[in-house]
Structure 1
Amino acid sequence: MSDALINGLAGAGGGIIAQLLTYPLQTVNTRQQTDRDPKKMKKKSGTVEQMYQVVQQEGWSRLYGGLTPSLVGTACSQGVYYYFYQIFRSKAEATALRRKNEGSGDGSVGMLSSLMVAAMSGCVNVLLTNPIWVVVTRMQTHTKKSPSDQVPSNASEQAIVGGAEPPPYATSNAVQEVFDEAGLWGFWKGVFPTLIMVSNPSIQFMLYETLLKKLKQRRASRNSNKGVTALEVFLLGALAKLGATVVTYPLLVVKSRLQAKQAIGVDKRHHYKGTLDAILKMIQYEGLHGFYKGMSTKIVQSVLAAAVLFMVKEELVNGARWLLLKDAAKVVRSKPR
């Protein structure tokens, strides 16, 4: 089994576990990002309160709306990302080694090359898995309307208004809804801001390196031989992640708005023709505040998910390598001498 495949499968496994643990936060966060009701905008409520409201009004199941396609999307995204990351990384390392043999460079992959590897892996991931996340967003933002809010247009809807329970909103409903709205292109809605968001890890990495360099320079100026502790690394990483999130979060909100169900024929403020149209309308009708809706929830969810993902992934990679080495040792011992 190749190292790229091991990392891909481990990333998928870690992503699934992280998704299961933090999914209710994701659902609430997506609703916060796509909320355009002026009344709700004025009445602020915390994440926990919003989760309680969803459970009270729509049931526990709505906190996990779209979980199945989301797990598929997470497994695909993490698997695709780490698989291609390992492939691109191996090529970058081979190129660096070749340059060293030619007399240029020290054989290590530089910062720019590392950023390029991460960016290319992220772009491949976005292009291949965006349709899954469009469906997930639809299912997360779908709400059960009360009978008084519904206007019957056919016999089935009249039965619902009359008191019958509406059928569950399944993955097939979301897929059909997206296709009816915009055809196949609808499954790549929000892909442009998502591609730009690939820069998030790059920004995080650059901020981390800058902060770490400043800390080391400060220690050196004081003639201190104290190394950087694990706690300091954790805090610097957290600050870098926070900075990257603040910079790129508006793009995440725009992406969610584009992927959510469009209010066609109702209020033009709620209907976006594309990325630029969404940005301009959000600035005009909501101001800069609209671009940072639900950011506190996202930060909590991202930190928890990232911690679980990296922890589980590393354990799975180490376990897989140990099993492979163990099997290889058995084969060597079983060979006749």
Structure 2
Amino acid sequence: MASTRNAADMPASDKTAPPQKSLFKHSFAGVAAGGISTAILYPLDLVKTRYQIHENSPRAFRSLGQAFASIVKSDAGGSRYNLRALYQGMSPALYGTTLSWGLYFLFYEHAKSFYAEQTVLPAWAGHFASGIQAGAMCVPLTNPIWLVKVRMQVQGTHPSQVPYKNVANALQRIVAEEGVAALYKGVVPALFLTTHGAFKFVAYEWLKTEYNDHIGTPLGIPQTLVMGAGAQAFASTATYPYQVIKTRLQQGGPSADKYKGTWDCTKRMAQLEGLRGFYKGLTPNLIKVLPTGALIFAVYEYVYQLLDGPK
């Protein structure tokens, strides 16, 4: 990637390009970014989810290494290592990330071009509003896929639960056994998590602006990777408790009806697990999301510029 233009100057608002064509490029670049990052880093997402569902019990993982070892052994019956266990639930994760990022960049760039014309708003406010708006539009469209991803990732942790065969089977069984509303378990904390994307894009856009203003050299892949990781770290740490609550609400098996809702889950976690309970799995999550954030933005910028062509 030879250079990356300031986000404010990207072709979402380029008057020389048809808006729908430009938005399609943003969306396709988002699909590529989501798919590539998931394919590379999925095992860390699985470990993070397993961390999040454990409360104060002997089954809780003691370290990241022990978590990996436990998953590959327990999912193989304890007699041998099964590395495929680290990719359990990857299909819905791929569907979810490609759909989510494709839609997110589409909605974000469309909203950003609108807010850029509102001269009363500072740039960061327009970016934050665009992130909230894009996230809120994505949540109802993608929550069922994320629910299935969590259910398939925790298969094997509840021996009494009959495993799902695939994504279609999971969707069919969830609707048949729990009703259509079950597909939207965790949607409230997911809506709160729209702040995650907003924080991330505000931080990323700010870092790019600061770089361009104070350094001015072409922004290449190394710089984009660092900025993406930094923006991701800020957003993930700030909003991580919402992720834990959402995962607790979405897990199936005997624990499915443990919480009555978002507030009940929050209150019980605070009482039984304290503040640390809201940050269970933060370490594997950061290990996963820092390279994820870096890859998302680097791949997105690279693919977008390939599609946009030379200027």
State the TM bucket, normalised to the shorter chain: 0.7 to 0.9
Query: 2: distance between equivalents of 1:79 and 1:29?
Result: 24
Retained in 2: the 8 A contact 1:92–1:109? no
User: For residue 86 of structure 2, what is the amino acid of its counterpart?
Assistant: L
Instruction: Give the deviation of 1:207 after TM superposition.
Output: 6.5
1:183 to 160, 175, 179: 179
Mapped partners of 1:14, 1:112: distance in 2: 25
Change (3 A) 1:193 1:109: same
Kindly indicate whether residue 259 of structure 2 is the aligned counterpart of residue 242 of structure 1.
no
The alpha-carbon distance between structure 1 residues 122 and 57, as it changes in their structure 2 partners (threshold 3 A), is same
Pair 1:170–1:144, CA change in 2 (3 A):
farther
Distance 1:168 1:122 in 2: 28
Q: Alignment partner of 2:131: what SS?
A: helix
The alpha carbon displacement at 1:181 in A equals 4.8
User: 1:89 maps to what in 2?
Assistant: 112
**Alpha carbons 1:33, 1:256 under 8 Å: kept:** yes
Which of 5, 9, 12 is the equivalent residue of 2:31? 12
Which residue, 31, 37, 40 being the options, matches 1:21?
40
Distance of aligned partners of 1:36 and 1:179 in 2 relative to their CA distance in 1, 3 Å threshold: farther
Q: What whole-Å deviation, never above 9, does each CA across 1:204-229 have from its counterpart, x for those lacking one?
A: 5667899999x99xxxxxxxxx8599
Q: 1:316 to 1:36 in 2, by over 3 A?
A: same
Instruction: Map 1:281-292 to 2 at 5 A.
Output: 281-292=268-279
Pairwise CA distance, 1:288: 1.7
The 2-side partners of 1:246 and 1:306 are apart by 13
**Alpha-carbon separation, structure 1, partners of 2:62 and 2:97:** 29
Does the 8 Å contact 1:134/1:259 carry over to 2?
yes
Structure 2 counterpart of 1:18, which letter? S
Which residue, 243, 260, 267 being the options, matches 1:252? 243
TM-score, structure 2 as length reference: 0.78
- The count of residues paired between Structure 1 and Structure 2 equals 282
Aligned equivalents of 1:117, 1:150: Cα separation in 2: 44
Map 1:41-60 → 2, pairs under 5 A: 41=60, 44-58=61-75, 59-60=82-83
- Is the CA contact (8 Å cut-off) linking 2:50 and 2:154 kept in structure 1? yes
Q: What does residue 306 of structure 1 align with?
A: 293
C-alpha deviation, 1:277, in angstroms: 1.1
Query: Does the alignment pair 1:114 with 2:127?
Result: yes
What residue number does 1:319 align with? 306
Does the CA-based 8 Å contact 2:228-2:293 persist in structure 1?
A: no
Contact 2:29 2:303 in 1 (8 A): yes
Q: Which amino acid aligns with 2:90?
A: L
Displacement, 1:203?
3.5
1:239/1:4 CA distance change after superposition, 3 Å: closer
Mapped partners of 2:112, 2:39: distance in 1: 29
Per-residue deviation, 1:301: 0.5
Partner of 1:203: 199
For the pair shown, the structure with the greater C-alpha radius of gyration is 1
What is the CA–CA distance in structure 2 between the aligned matches of 1:247 and 1:25, rounded to whole Å? 20
One-letter amino acid of the structure 1 residue matched with residue 141 of structure 2: L
> 2:139–2:190: 8 Å Cα contact kept in structure 1?
yes
Unaligned runs of 5+ in 1: 100-104, 152-165, 217-225, 326-337
- TM normalised by structure 1 equals 0.72
1:245 and 1:251 map into 2 onto residues whose CA distance is: 10
The residue aligned with 2:94 is: 71
Matching of residue 135 in structure 1 with residue 132 in structure 2:
no
Counterpart Cα distance in 2 of 1:288 and 1:84: 34
Q: What is the identity, as a one-letter code, of the residue corresponding to 1:306? A: G
Unmatched tracts of structure 2, length 5 or more = 1-19, 76-81
**Distance 1:290-1:81 versus aligned 2 partners, 3 A rule:** same
1:3 and 2:16 matched: no
CA contact (8 A) 2:96 2:145 kept: yes
Greater mean alpha carbon deviation, residues 26-35 or residues 192-201 = 192-201
Percentage identity across aligned positions?
30
Distance 2:86 2:258 in 1: 25
Structure 1 residues 15, 150: CA separation in 2 closer, same or farther (over 3 Å shift)? closer
Query: In the alignment, residue 127 of structure 1 is paired with which amino acid?
Result: P
